[in-house]
Amino acid sequence: MKHIVKIITFLVAISAMWIGLLEMSVVPRSQTWLLPIYFIVSLGCYGLLMVGIGLMQFPTCPQEAVLLQQDVVEAKDFLKQRGVDVGSE
């Protein structure tokens, strides 16, 4: 619930700034109408940048990989006991 309040507050603030720019005519009116589009494009670029940085800094966890392989083997054994064909290795 707290996240939605933050998001709504952020959207209201952006809307208020946009309406203020429209009313005060600080920025030419023809460009002010494009501000929401610029905002959405900027938000998309920011999201792609954060995903790219996250992928570049993705840690490798060899211990977790070994545990995951053990879990896979256990799951295959469990399913074979139940008569499920898990495919060839």
Per-residue pLDDT, 28: 75
Distance of alpha carbon 36 from alpha carbon 38, whole angstroms: 5
The pLDDT score that the predictor gives to residue 1 is: 61
Question: What pLDDT, on the 0 to 100 scale, is given for residue 59?
Answer: 79
- The pLDDT score that the predictor gives to residue 69 is 92
Sequential DSSP letters for 47-66: HHHHHHHHHHTPPP-HHHHH
Which pLDDT does position 36 carry in this prediction? Answer: 78
Looking at residue 73, its pLDDT comes to: 92
Blockwise average pLDDT, block size 10, the chain, 89 residues = 81 84 74 78 89 85 89 92 79
Structural domain spans, the chain: 2-58
**What is the pLDDT at residue 89?**
57
pLDDT in the model for residue 70? 95
